[in-house]
Amino acid sequence: MHNLAEAVSARKKWKVAEIVALFELPFADLIHRAQTLHRAHFDPNTVQISTLLSIKTGGCPEDCGYCPQSARYHTGVENSALMALEDVVAAAKAAKAQGATRFCMGAAWRGPKQRDLEPVLKMIAEVKALGMETCATLGMLKEGQAEQLKEAGLDYYNHNLDTAPDFYGEIISTRTYQDRLDTLERVRQAGLRVCCGGIIGMGESRMQRAALLAQLANMEPPPESVPINLLTQVEGTPLCGTPELDEIEFVRTIACARITMPESHVRLSAGRNQMSEAMQALCFLAGANSIFYGEKLLTTGNPDTDSDRKLFDKLGIRPEPVT
Ligand code: SAM
Ligand code: DTB
Ligand code: SF4
């Protein structure tokens, strides 16, 4: 490899049909392939641990059909203004004391206005100063904002593609797929690491799950961090009542993410509260190597830290140190 351009062109481009063919493999063959690749790129017994905090909750103008924080739906989520700096730092210290190495701050915005961004930059700087990795998810970014985040000490920016291009219009009307790709490009250009994934179980087809993975895997380079969320159905959202996704199909999706993005961390994200230990163990076996840790995601529940510690002990999993 002589230069970056060659490295980029050498990376395999995935066709949707090839990923569908992976989904169709006998389960044992699929898991073996995923596990073999996982072991070639990662310590198979470590899992990266992030803790989430909603720094600004509810009242969002967007219409994402899955989201309890959209102002358009009656979901019982209480709106709150941007949190105070000291409260955010206290939450980050608590997360660090519990063993989290990355702290992710989420805001229910379409995107940050400059006056919103400034206090968030201070939060990022102070969380970074604790010795934690920092991540933020604040919606769409305008020209120049990603650079300010980077300057403040941000390591990762989370912005999801959510689903396949041809299913996207059924879920969100207030921003386009291209808007999301544009924000991701700004994040990458600013030198931030990209955290980008989607939601499974929104009524999409297997081909559409494969098409989401193809979008992610064909990014140049692919996201360093790939959250795979299982739809958490919240009363009042349009997607509440969607037929539940088959559990094995979810595990297959994780395995296909691992195979198509062998160097990325694949995060078993929303939905763990509804999963048995056996199901989570299958997801780790299929190549998931990151989780959200702590009793709450943004507004919905997540397993408590005691049960996660017990699960890690049972499976012989260790938290991954910061690299
Ligand atoms: N408002 C910002 C945005 O949309 O970019 C940042 C926060 S938003 C809540 C981050 C991501 O959480 C969404 O892109 C979506 O993938 C995920 N998410 C939201 N509600 C969810 C739900 N009910 N189940 C699973 N994932 C969900
Ligand atoms: C991601 O992909 N999942 C997280 C994080 N990025 C910001 C959010 C999950 C939210 C689940 C619904 C809630 O708690 O409000
Ligand atoms: Fe707003 Fe983000 Fe929820 Fe969409 S996912 S409604 S942008 S908070």
Check if 111 has its Cβ closer than 6 Å to any atom of ligand 3: no
C-alpha separations of 72 from 58, 79, 110, 154, 268 in Å: 10, 12, 13, 31, 28
- Give the number of whichever ligand sits closest to the CA of residue 158: 2
* Catalytic annotation present for 64: yes
Ligand 2 — pocket residues by CB below 6 A?
A: 52, 68, 106, 137, 158, 160, 197, 227, 229, 232, 269-270, 297-300
User: Is ligand 3 within 6 A of the CB of residue 229?
Assistant: no
How many residues does this entry show for the chain?
323
Closest-CA residue, ligand 2 atom 1, reads: 227
Question: Is 256 designated active site?
Answer: no
**Whole-angstrom Cα distance, residue 180 to residue 12?**
23
pLDDT in tens, the chain (323 residues): 455 555 556 789 999 999 999 999 999 999 999 999 999 999 999 999 999 999 999 999 999 999 999 999 999 999 999 999 999 999 999 999 999 999 999 999 999 999 999 999 999 999 999 999 999 999 999 999 999 999 999 999 999 999 999 999 999 999 999 999 999 999 999 999 999 999 999 999 999 999 999 999 999 999 999 999 999 999 999 999 999 999 999 999 999 999 999 999 999 999 999 999 999 999 999 999 999 999 999 999 999 999 999 999 999 999 998 76
156-158 and 133-137 strand pairing? parallel
3-state DSSP assignment of residue 56: strand
pTM listed for this prediction? 0.96
Tally helices (H) and strands (E) across the chain: 12, 10
Q: Residue 194: how many CB atoms within 10 A of its CB?
A: 21
DSSP string, 59-120: -BS---TT-TTBTTS---PPPBPPPPHHHHHHHHHHHHHHT-SEEEEEE--SS--HHHHHHH
Instruction: Among 64, 158, 183, name the best residue to mutate to test ligand 3's pocket (greatest count of ligand atoms within 8 A of Cβ).
Output: 64
